């Protein structure tokens, strides 16, 4: 509903028709078989465009769907372990982590402590360190292990994603390419 008395009217082809009363603008739009749409209500006078409103809404929805199609949703998968989880079970969980990382998801590895296990948090830390060393070729630690209540957790992300997101700085690449030279010391 257009509440202003006069509006600046723009034709469907972009041509400015000037400042008209609302009735004249609506009559002009109906004459062309189109709608009068207020595009800038805060301007003085408000700006209205003569267009096919249904087609305009359809185009907006089409653009929104197209942009959603190109989005990738990254999920966080959680793997739960205990400090005394057996080797074979850890290997099984490692395979699941590898699969999740290959799918492009992030992985949250949680170690749950119960009762007296809280006194031996180094056991849980050892399990997390083992997981990190086993996955160092395909995963990067996004968040270092930390305690949250009775759980210790860390976040992993795929190695390729982490490298793509952060370009290597020039100083780091020079340091890696040039080995440190030791000064010659004569005795």
User: What pTM, to 2 d.p., does this model score?
Assistant: 0.53
Tokens 């209540």, residue located = 149
Domains 1-53 and 76-165 share a fold: no
CATH of domain 1-53: 3.10.20.80
Tokens 């998801």, residue located = 105
Q: What integer pLDDT is reported at residue 173 of this predicted model?
A: 43
Concatenate the DSSP letters of all residues of 47-78 into one string: EEEEE-HHHHHHHHHHHHHHHHHT--PPPEEE
Q: What integer pLDDT is reported at residue 104 of this predicted model?
A: 87
The pLDDT tens digits along the chain (187 residues) read 788 889 999 998 889 999 999 999 999 999 999 999 988 889 989 999 999 989 889 988 999 888 888 877 788 999 999 999 999 999 999 999 999 999 889 999 999 999 999 998 999 999 999 999 999 899 999 989 999 999 999 999 988 755 555 444 334 444 444 445 444 555 4
Domain chopping of the chain, boundaries: 1-53, 76-165
Q: What integer pLDDT is reported at residue 167 of this predicted model?
A: 44
Q: What integer pLDDT is reported at residue 67 of this predicted model?
A: 85
CB 9 within 8 A of CB 23: no
Q: What integer pLDDT is reported at residue 92 of this predicted model?
A: 94
Alpha carbon dihedral 89, 95, 100, 106, in 10-degree steps, equals 60
What are the residue ranges of helices labelled H in 6-114? 22-32, 53-69, 87-102
Determine the Cα–Cα distance for residues 85 and 154; give it in Å rounded to an integer. Answer: 17
76-165 domain in CATH 3.30.565.10? no
CB 107 within 8 A of CB 156: yes
């Amino acid at each position: 509903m257009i509440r202003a008395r006069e509006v600046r009217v723009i034709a469907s082809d972009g041509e400015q028709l000037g400042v008209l009363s609302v009735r004249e603008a609506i009559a002009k739009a109906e004459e062309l078989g189109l709608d009068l749409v207020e595009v800038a209500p805060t301007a003085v006078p408000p700006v209205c465009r003569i267009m096919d409103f249904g087609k305009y809404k359809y185009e907006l929805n089409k653009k929104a769907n197209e942009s959603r199609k190109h989005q990738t949703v990254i999920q966080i998968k959680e793997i739960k372990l205990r400090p005394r989880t057996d080797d074979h079970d850890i290997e099984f969980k490692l395979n699941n982590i590898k699969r999740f990382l290959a799918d492009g998801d992030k992985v949250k590895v949680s170690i749950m402590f119960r009762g007296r296990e809280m006194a031996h948090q180094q056991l849980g830390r050892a399990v997390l360190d083992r997981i990190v060393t086993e996955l160092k070729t395909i995963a990067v630690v996004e968040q270092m292990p930390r305690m949250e209540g009775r759980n210790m957790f860390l976040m992993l992300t795929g190695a390729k994603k982490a490298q793509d997101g952060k370009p290597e700085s020039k100083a780091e690449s020079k340091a890696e390419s040039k080995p440190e030279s030791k000064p010659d010391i004569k005795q």
